Chain A
Amino acid sequence: MTVTVVRALPDRAPARAGGAPRRRPSRQRRQDALVGYLFIAPQALGIAAFVLVPLGLIAYYSAHEWNVLAGSFRFVGTENVERLFADPRLAGVLQATAVFSIGLVIANLTLALALAVLLNRRMRGVGFFRTVFFSPVVVSLVAWTIVWGFLLQADGGINGMLATIGIEGPNWLREGPTAMASVVIVQVFKNVGLNMVLFLAALQGVPHELFEAARVDGARPATIFWRITFPMISPTILLTVIITIVGSLQVFAQIAVLTQGGPGTSTTVLVYYLFQQAFQFGKFGYGSVLAILLFLIVLVLTIVQWTLRRKWVFHEN
């Protein structure tokens, strides 16, 4: 009964607004609402079951100690959180995560922007090169990573080619600094095409008159880039920075295939550490605390994005 009353309420509003109310029969409105609920039900129930319930469970699990082998499950309060702050490896993990994310963002966006600017012209072959730079995006991630892992072996293709010109290459994936650099580079070439396409679309949206006016005024290419191109596409730059950072926090397959987090913990990013703790060591409670940490990082980044979008981005009006 109450449901009918509540649903009837919106019907009255337009009538009160006066004039000639375009009132649909409320029966049709109710029917519409029913259809609406049915249409969104699969998605809404899916989100409830596979996002909202798990989010609640993380909080619950994080307060419990879970021993899979012994089959025990007991309440430990804030013990897992305390363990997080006392974890001697956490600093290294967070550092690896930050180095990977920052390195990836800088390398990816610089290259994507350079490729987009180079390809933003009418010339024969531009389409071909765009396809080439985009193609790794559709290559299976694990396949792509395996090939690079093969190329980066101590006696692999890259060192083989370096040796033919008399350079002895490092054991890329087994030495701290080069291991991290390798993981970043493999990921850059995999996905830079996506950001390149976004930048190309943005560049093509910049009015031509602006460039022509600048050229007539005698502005140099560098000046044109920093004074016109860059501010005009800044919304896209901000967007791609955020997409790339959030994406970089999810890097898992590359680490698992290339370095398994090593050497030491130099490439153990947060997601990989979470996987190790939960699924290799069976510490589901501690894994849940790490998941909360990951969630908070993504949340903060999203809030920063929203705030920055208002302040920093160039607006035409």
Chain B
Amino acid sequence: MRTETATDVSHASRRSRRRTLSYLAFYVVMTVLAVPFVFPTWWMITSSFKPITEIFAFPPTLVPANPTIQPFVDVFALQPFAQQYWNSAYVSIVVTIGTMLVSSLAGYAFARIQFPGANAIFLVVLVGLLIPSEVTIVPLFQMFNGLGLIDTHWPIILVSTFGAPSVLTTFIMRQFFLALPVELEEAARLDGLNRFSIWWRIALPLARPALAAVAIFSFLHVWNLYLEPTVYLQSNELFTLPVALTRFTDAYGGALWNVQLAAATMTAVPVLLVFIVAQRQFVEGLAHTGLKG
């Protein structure tokens, strides 16, 4: 109706109303799309505060009707969960630091130092990118079995730090150093600094963004490993979190959902909080390393 009185003012107001509508539509669509991304985390956290009688209540309760922290207490009673938490934490940290060293050393050398066979060795190392760790799990198990290292954390630490998983991060470090201007290092060289000092005192501090990406990638990689600990570990006290999470069952093998979800909450929420604080580094780091192929 109003269109017939086509003055400039009504044009403008119609346009702004249409824009408000399209804004509204955008937010409604986005919110609906967000549900499957947010709801599972919400459901995980809230359900871990529910007593077992409420777990399958009908209709489902979005907020616990009778909140309890009993499931969290049970987590520690049923499994050596503090020990398992520590296992995951220390294995992840050791591998993360190890990978940062191994990858920045190799990446720096491949980018900066000329030595016979560098290209050939680089190509061979890149083979690690081509081979899913699942392909080599059988012989690796046998090798570590022969060394008596089954049911220790060594296979996870050694393979993750030096094996195929660190090839991607080495590649990232190499690309970063290739893009980095070389003048500063050449100046340091003329001043008599040796290669190791140049790497440690000049190249590494400049490589902080790449190192952050490498750290985030390798920490999450190890923190989430499932097949490897399933294969290499046998005792409860040595399990890492992903394996431990699957072991919360009653005497008949039925899942103790609220306890399991409480353990899952304790596993996922700290990482999620760090992510919320350092989103930009996470997104850039993982998108960077996501360029795997």
A residues within 8 Å of B by Cβ? 6-7, 10, 29, 32-33, 35-37, 39-40, 42-47, 49-55, 57-58, 61, 115, 118, 123, 125, 129-144, 146-148, 150-151, 153, 155-157, 160-161, 163-164, 189, 193-195, 197-198, 201, 239, 242-243, 246-247, 249-250, 252-253, 256-257, 271, 274-275, 278-279, 284, 287-288, 291-292, 294-295, 298-299, 302, 305
Contacts and interface: CB of A to CB of B under 8 A. Distances in A.
Nearest to B163: A50
Nearest to A295: B135
B110 interface: yes
Q: Which of B36, B142, B279 has the most CB of A within 10 A?
A: B36
Interface residues on B, range: 35 or more
B134 interface: yes
B138 interface: yes
Which 4 interchain pairs have the tightest Cβ spacing? A46-B162, A50-B163, A39-B109, A36-B115
Nearest to B140: A54
A128 to B, nearest CB: 9
Nearest to B60: A160
7 contacts: A54-B140, A146-B245, A194-B287, A252-B134, A279-B230, A288-B139, A291-B135
Contacts of A143: 44, 242, 245, 264-265, 267-268
B108 interface: yes
B37 A288 contact: no
Contacts of B243: 142
Nearest to B216: A138
Interface in B1-47: 23, 26-27, 29-30, 33-34, 36-38, 40-41, 43-44, 47
Nearest to A50: B163
B227 interface: yes
B227 A142 contact: no
Contacts of B27: 125
A156 B57 CA distance: 9
Given A40-B109, A47-B127, A271-B134, A164 B59 contact: yes
B86 interface: no
Interface in B232-265: 241-243, 245-246, 255, 257, 260-261, 264-265
Given A61-B139, A129-B34, A43 B116 contact: no
B138 A58 contact: yes
A42 B220 CA distance: 22
A155 B59 CA distance: 11
Contact of A44 (B125, B135, B226): B125
B139 A58 contact: yes
Given A39-B105, A47-B127, A239-B293, A160 B161 contact: no
B170 interface: yes
Q: Secondary structure at chain A's binding surface: helix, strand, loop or mixed?
A: helix
A47 B134 contact: no
Given A134-B283, A294-B134, A305-B293, A46 B226 contact: no
A142 B143 contact: no
Contacts of B223: 140
A35 B40 contact: no
B205 interface: no
Given A35-B113, A51-B164, A132 B290 contact: no
B226 A132 contact: no
Contacts of A42: 101-102, 105-106, 162
Given A45-B162, A243-B290, A142 B242 contact: yes
Given A155-B56, A160-B58, A243-B293, A55 B170 contact: no
A294 B135 contact: yes
Contact of A194 (B108, B115, B286): B286
B128 interface: yes
B293 A287 contact: no
B114 interface: yes
Contacts of B136: 50-51, 54-55, 58, 291
B202 interface: no
Given A143-B268, A198-B287, A243-B293, A47 B128 contact: yes
Contacts of B143: 53-54, 57
Contacts of A295: 131-132, 135
Contacts of A146: 44, 245-246, 260-261, 264
A131 B275 CA distance: 9
Contacts of A135: 37-38, 41, 272, 275
A58 B135 contact: yes
Nearest to A299: B130
B118 interface: yes
B134 to A, nearest CB: 5
B138 A47 contact: no
